Amino acid sequence: MNFQNLLFSVEQGLATITINRPDKLNALNALTVQEIGKAVAAANADSSVKVIIITGAGEKSFVAGADISEFEGLSEQQAMTLAANGQEVFKSIEDSPKPVIAAVNGFALGGGCELAMACHLRIASDNSRFGQPEVKLGLIPAYGGTQRMTRLIGRTKSLELMITTDMINAQQALELGLLNYVVAQAELMNKCKEIAAKIMAQAPLAVAGVIACVNDYANGKDGFQSEVRVFGYCFTTEDNKEGVAAFKEKRAPAFKGK
């Protein structure tokens, strides 16, 4: 699949989406956001893909925010459309039944931090920096950042970060619960692949079921009811029978995602 602002590859069950505007620190212009949505949809439609990684090109920046050069002269209505489009794409990441890992390789600011927060897991290089600098531009985070950051790290610190625009380093982000792991930049993709391999060994429909139930919690729905429904559904899958049989036979399961 060919994109103007992304690199997209599928290898051994892993789809890698690389935002590729390094001279603009991978800032998200409207086309890039649209392409991310298409790439995630393509990865979800490819039955060989089990896990998706999103990263940025180069060693300096994951994504340094929405592309500020596209903000000039927007009307209220155009700005609302921009936010709604961004939210739709980021929600498609959050709702992806295949786990999406953000491999944060540098600045994750504004829409970049929001993109990382829409992913299911976040692994960052030790040079990464996180922040929501929008209010400095007279704006607010509007690709879901006010909601997802609050859910992830709580009101106390998310409010502070969003209204002071303070940037935090990877270690601070880890301590706040924004990240799963921090590793040296040279180790970033290896660490992501190691986590992806663990996920790929599990039953894909059950993995998707966990994501759906956790998302229901995050979206204020009755996740307990979802658990009952998804648990029941699991018993209709071949993978559940295979998992139980493999346990009894003391062998590794061979899941088919059916």
Asked if 28 and 66 touch (Cβ cutoff 8 Å), the reply is yes
**For ligand COA, the closer CB: 134 or 216:** 134
Regarding 137 and contact with ligand COA (CB under 6 A), the answer is: yes
Annotated catalytic, 187?
A: no
Provide the 8-state DSSP code for 68: G
State the burial class of residue 246 (Cβ atoms within 10 Å of its Cβ: 0-12, 13-18, 19+): middle
Asked if 17 and 53 touch (Cβ cutoff 8 Å), the reply is yes
Per-residue x/- track, 21-40, ligand COA (CB under 6 A)? ---xx-x-------------
Stretch that binds ligand COA, among 104-112, 176-184, 224-232, 241-249 (CB under 6 A): 104-112
Smallest Cα–Cα separation from 101: which of 64, 69, 62? Answer: 62
**For ligand COA, the closer CB: 64 or 203:** 64
Regarding 65 and contact with ligand COA (CB under 6 A), the answer is: yes
Over the range 148-184, which residues count as b (16 or more CB within 10 Å of their CB) and which as e? bbeebbeeebbeebbeebebbebebbbebebbbbbbe
Regarding 133 and contact with ligand COA (CB under 6 A), the answer is: yes
Q: Which position among 67, 94, 114, 216 is part of the footprint of ligand COA (CB under 6 A)? A: 67
For residue 191, what are its two tokens? 């660490």
Annotated catalytic, 114?
A: yes
Q: Which position among 94, 134, 216, 239 is part of the footprint of ligand COA (CB under 6 A)? A: 134
The residue ranges that bind ligand COA (CB under 6 A) are 24-25, 27, 64-69, 107, 109-110, 133-134, 137
